[in-house]
Structure 1
Amino acid sequence: MEHHGRHALVTGGGTGIGLAIATALADAGAEVTITGRDAERLEKIAADHPRLHPLAMDVTDAEGVRDGITRAAAARGPVAICVANAGIAEPLSFRKQTPEHWRRTMATNLDGVFLTFQAAMETVGREDWGRMIAISSIAGLRGLKGAIAYTASKHGVIGMIRGLSEEYMGGALTFNAICPGYVDTPIVDRNAAMIAEHQGVSEEEARGYLARANRHKRMLEPDEISATALWLCSDAARSVNGQAIQIAGGHVT
């Protein structure tokens, strides 16, 4: 119960990596606000765990993010742990890239992290203990073919983490990014379905293609990411700051 009495907030906490992290933090004693756009889903998940608390919130809505996090902090205290996980992955070749697709990706994957962190950090003092974690991607460290907007957004997230770690250096507030490869989540399921449709292969074959993109040639599991997040929130990681931690089955950069 290392985090008993602490308030954590996880965006995109109703599915995949976000849900795994939220559950791990709740099991460690934190009161965890889980956010997402599907209020019904969040409520069903929270009903099964007394330390999970639903908050319908769209990370692209600046006013909604600020209002939602303010209300969550009023109910459960300062956001000592903030995991900016909400994101979208919609592959599209550069030639087919549209300004609308580009802006939608940036609004969710990059602006969403900025808005979430800024609102969460307004609830804590500059010298207070805190852990700010962004879920980036291996695509934030290298190029990803056919996903220029996604790649750029995830590179931006890492830049934000590095800048914030410098701005708050020396205090008890740390900033880190987790950079997974392909994880067995609904996002990968959707991407596999798209690949299968476009290339005329089965979804199982498409999933195999994605799994082989990880260096150890298998799909990652959400608990591998949640375990890393839990470690970053521990006292053992108090000197880990400004890092982009790769989880992709082998050396990438």
Structure 2
Amino acid sequence: MTIAGRGALVTGGGRGIGAAAARRLADRGVRVVVAARSTDQVESVAAELREAGTDAWAVTCDVAEPTEVAAMCRAAAERLGAVDILVNNAGVATSAPVAKLALEEWTRLWTINATGAFLAMQGVLPGMIERGWGRIVNVASVAALRGARYIGGYAASKHALLGLTRSAAAEVATSGVTVNAVCPGYVDTPMTDTTIANIVKRTGMEASAALDAVLATTPQRRLISPEEVAASVAFLCDEEARSINGQTVVLDGGATGAL
């Protein structure tokens, strides 16, 4: 049993974890639609996959806009024939004390990290249920499992995404569809680069010292690679993972396990 020939939609697919997940699925013979706000980035990833022999398409979409998410889901279904796999990876992060977090920023975090994934799930779930097969993997964060200083808005939005994952999984448990989440710690992506830059700006640290401070929170003292996260995403999409539903795969080098 194989997922070769299935069709996948990957949001936030222009770089980082999303691009790595698209590549890993393509390696397994999955046809892929990559979506993100940056047309140039998703076009580049799709072209790379096509050059490697995979059917791949790019769709520009801002998941903060409901009409764009609906259009993305329609376009993916048209190109793939059916969306069998959805990887909700699009996300943003910010850093601010709760007392100083602007409502506008709070809303942006929730809209992209939680509502965008919710809308994409609504767009593809009916077809998955009707066909009796589907895989949804939501890219959350260790911030979905615990709080920390200065990430109240981000952590709250990722907690919401994890709650959505578990509730949807319960609803589809007998349908042949599974819904799971991956929760990575600090990953070697532009989002972490932004975190480092914010620490430098807030504290005056050198960038290398800021990175050391981040790594000090991880038992393995290293950043996780996007490919490591992509491997877990792809595993959860496998036929062999059909009994894994409503679960959270944590990739943090043991940080949360040590609590």
Shorter-chain TM range is: over 0.9
Is 2:37 the partner of 1:37?
yes
Deviation at 1:215, TM superposition (A): 2.6
1:171 CA drift (Å): 2.3
Question: How many aligned residue pairs are there?
Answer: 253
Structure 1: 5+ residue runs without aligned partners? none
Counterpart for residue 122 of structure 1: 126
3-state SS in 2 of match to 1:105? helix
Write out per-residue CA displacement over residues 50-94 of structure 1, whole angstroms, 9 at most, x where no aligned residue: 133110001111111111211221121211010000000111111
Secondary structure of 1:213's aligned partner:
coil
**Which structure 2 segments of 5+ residues have no match?**
none
**Secondary structure of 1:53's match?**
strand
1:113 aligned to 2:125? Answer: no
Q: 1:88: which partner in 2? A: 92
Distance 1:84 1:65 in 2: 12
Residue 221 (str. 1) matches residue 225 (str. 2):
yes
- 2:49 paired with 1:49: yes
- How high is the sequence identity, in percent, across the aligned residues? 36
Contact kept? 1:73, 1:123, Cα under 8 Å: no
The superposition leaves residues 174-197 of structure 1 with CA deviations (integer Å, 9 ceiling, x where unpaired) of 000100000010100111011112
Matches within 5 A, 1:128-167: 128-167=132-171
Among 226, 231, 238, the alignment partner of 2:235 is 231
The one-letter code matched in structure 2 to 1:181 is: G
Give me the whole-angstrom Cα distance separating, in 1, the residues matched to 2:19 and 2:8. Answer: 13
Could you tell which deviates more after superposition, 37-46 or 240-249?
Answer: 37-46
Residue 73 (structure 1) aligned to one of 68, 74, 77: 77
TM-score w.r.t. length of structure 1? 0.96
Q: 1:193: which partner in 2?
A: 197
Partner of 2:24: 24
- Mapped to 1, the partners of 2:127 and 2:6 lie a distance apart of 13
**C-alpha distance in structure 2 between counterparts of 1:158 and 1:209, whole Å:** 27
Instruction: Write the deviation string for residues 1-34 of structure 1: whole angstroms up to 9, x where unpaired.
Output: 9332211011000111111101100111111111
Q: Secondary structure at the match of 1:104?
A: helix
In the alignment, which of 175, 178, 191 is matched to residue 174 of structure 1?
Answer: 178
Contact 1:183 1:220 in 2 (8 A): yes
Q: Which runs of 4+ in 1 moved over 6 A?
A: none
DSSP-derived class of the 1:8 partner: strand
2:101 to 74, 97, 101: 97
Q: 1:251 Cα deviation (Å)?
A: 5.0
1:105/1:82 CA distance change after superposition, 3 Å: same
AA partner of residue 22 (structure 2): A
Q: What is the aligned partner in structure 2 of residue 8 from structure 1?
A: 8
CA distance in 2, matches of 1:126, 1:175: 16
- Residues 136, 178 of structure 1: 8 Å contact kept: yes
1:59 aligns with 2:70: no
Q: Offset at 1:127? A: 5.3
Q: Give, in whole Å, the separation in 2 of the partners of 1:203 and 1:120.
A: 42
Equivalent-residue separation in structure 1 for 2:122 and 2:187 (angstroms): 28
Whether the 8 Å contact between 2:217 and 2:255 is mirrored in structure 1 is no
Aligned-pair distance for 1:125? 3.2
* Root mean square deviation, CA, Å: 1.4
**Alpha-carbon separation, structure 2, partners of 1:54 and 1:71:** 10
Please point out which of 184, 189, 192 is paired with 2:188: 184
